[in-house]
Amino acid sequence: MNKPIVRITWNDASDTLDPWVSEEELKKFTSSTALVVSIGYLADKNRSYVTIAGDWQEDLKIWGRVTKIPKKMVVSIEEIPLPHPVAPPIDTLEH
């Protein structure tokens, strides 16, 4: 698996906590943003979405903790450079 690790800043959709809100609360809610920063493997991307994953299981070739973000909600994507060489698996490290 050769996928970059990225930091995505994006505007999340959000709900009001209360089921009923006043006009004043509605205007305040509408003008606020829910800016989120997510970090993970850039698992996939297409014209509409960016998909990141927090985990990769090498033996089974499966992704874990997958998040699909609509591209229109993305503010920025930055690749996080890894130090080279990558550290060996933890079970090979001396304790």
- Over residues 5-27, the pLDDT tens digits come to 999 999 999 999 999 999 999 99
Please count the helices (runs of H) and the strands (runs of E) in the chain.
Answer: 1, 5
Question: Could you tell me if 6 and 81 are in contact, meaning their C-beta atoms sit under 8 angstroms apart?
Answer: no
Q: How large is the average pLDDT for residues 54-67?
A: 95
One-letter amino acid of 68: K
pTM: 0.79
